[in-house]
Copies of this chain bind each other. A is one copy, B any other.
């Protein structure tokens, strides 16, 4: 087991009607709030009203219209607003995109140069506004971690900024807020959660058995409840288990003692940086292709273990069990009604070279991923999609 540090300062309030603590908790940070959210869904489903009821005594500035794959432009606008209005605290009401944009804004509000500088050099982040989250989509785990992924449309770069200053101070996670999510978003979130855990799980064997078994537990949870949430949107047991799975799936717990670069996310980030694809859909297409490509004599034991523990495959032979596991992943994504090829989402071969180059350039997949991937490897994986 590798050495690690572990400290998560985020205060999680999980369950029905937990919104009731927002007023008191946020008041400790000040009176001027930047309220960040996406499209109009929180107005339609009543969450906006519940939040505003809590913020009656605050001065609220709104920044709405945060899109999936949040853009640098939005961050620039948000940071400008914070400076102009003297914002004390940011409240992100939404999922990963809204939270990630809010994190970047929180840092940019305390920085005098262009926000993109902070992505390129994290050491420039010296302080950040406090962030509170009201979670309405579970997927990215951003509610309890210190990372944020931002897209620079000018350069087609989708990069992460990550520093302890960006942990949300408070995250309110009410599973009933997920009831009104469209099927597609539920599914994309489920894929994202599973992928996060897989990225951490598929790493060179390093004796961190406990981290692996905890990961298997989270993956079993996702596989069990993903389809239920699709069929019964207001099933509390399914929504609550998935919501906590998303948080635990990427709050550092499943990476302790392990190491190495992620494999599929860096490729997907480039693809959705070029095509503005929903992140979960990109992952659903890429993951089985990656699994097939890297399955070999060295990796088959881990893939077989994954198949046995997560999908209860009883096949004795490692290679066969591994193959069945990959098929289970495909079947699972199909059950979630995810597209399974690039052609279904309008992506052709024209940019494979460029994207492969970019994926290798902007990540460590060629150096420390589970199976090291160079540009040629990435192109082969893209072709399998």
> Which range contains the number of A residues in contact with the other chain?
35 or more
Q: Which of A90-98, A152-160, A239-247 contacts B (4 or more CB under 8 A)?
A: A239-247
Is A214 a contact of B218 with CB atoms below 8 Å?
Answer: yes
Shortest Cβ gap from A289 to chain B (Å): 28
Q: Report which residue of A210, A218, A256 has the largest number of chain B beta carbons within 10 angstroms of its beta carbon.
A: A210
Q: Which of A6-14, A70-78, A294-302 contacts B (4 or more CB under 8 A)?
A: A6-14
Q: Identify which of B1, B9, B14, B225 contacts A237 (C-beta below 8 A).
A: B1
Is B9 a contact of A14 with CB atoms below 8 Å?
Answer: no
User: How far apart are the CA atoms of A125 and B15 in the complex, in Å?
Assistant: 28
Known A1-B237, A2-B15, A236-B1; contact A221-B213, beta-carbon cutoff 8 A = yes
Q: Identify which of B237, B248, B257 contacts A209 (C-beta below 8 A).
A: B237
Shortest Cβ gap from A138 to chain B (Å): 12
Shortest Cβ gap from A203 to chain B (Å): 15
Q: Report which residue of A2, A5, A175, A253 has the largest number of chain B beta carbons within 10 angstroms of its beta carbon.
A: A5
Known A3-B15, A3-B18, A10-B7; contact A210-B214, beta-carbon cutoff 8 A = no
Copies of this chain, tallied across the complex: 2
User: How far apart are the CA atoms of A217 and B13 in the complex, in Å?
Assistant: 24
**8 Å CB contacts to B: which residues of A1-34?**
1-16, 18
Is B3 a contact of A12 with CB atoms below 8 Å?
Answer: no
**8 Å CB contacts to B: which residues of A170-227?**
175, 207-210, 213-214, 216-218, 220-221, 224-225
Is B15 a contact of A240 with CB atoms below 8 Å?
Answer: no
Instruction: Select from chain B the residue with minimum beta-carbon distance to A170.
Output: B7
Q: Which residues of B contact A214 (CB under 8 A)?
A: 214, 217-218, 248
User: How far apart are the CA atoms of A272 and B130 in the complex, in Å?
Assistant: 47
Is A253 a contact of B256 with CB atoms below 8 Å?
Answer: no
Q: Which residues of B contact A12 (CB under 8 A)?
A: 4-7
User: How far apart are the CA atoms of A214 and B212 in the complex, in Å?
Assistant: 10
Instruction: Select from chain B the residue with minimum beta-carbon distance to A247.
Output: B6
Q: Identify which of B15, B253, B257 contacts A4 (C-beta below 8 A).
A: B15
Is A5 a contact of B11 with CB atoms below 8 Å?
Answer: yes
Is A237 a contact of B15 with CB atoms below 8 Å?
Answer: no
Q: Which residues of B contact A256 (CB under 8 A)?
A: 14, 244
Q: Which residues of B contact A1 (CB under 8 A)?
A: 15, 175, 236-237, 240-241, 244
Known A213-B220, A217-B213; contact A207-B237, beta-carbon cutoff 8 A = yes
Shortest Cβ gap from A164 to chain B (Å): 11
Q: List 30 A-B contacts (CB under 8 A).
A: A1-B15, A1-B175, A1-B240, A3-B14, A3-B18, A4-B14, A5-B11, A5-B12, A5-B13, A5-B14, A6-B11, A7-B9, A7-B10, A7-B12, A14-B257, A207-B241, A208-B240, A208-B241, A209-B225, A209-B237, A210-B218, A210-B241, A210-B244, A210-B248, A213-B216, A213-B221, A214-B218, A214-B248, A217-B217, A253-B253
Binding site for B on A (CB under 8 A): 1-16, 18, 175, 207-210, 213-214, 216-218, 220-221, 224-225, 236-237, 240-241, 244-245, 248, 253, 256-257
Can you list the 6 inter-chain pairs with the closest CB atoms, starting with the nearest?
A3-B15, A213-B217, A6-B12, A207-B237, A1-B240, A7-B11
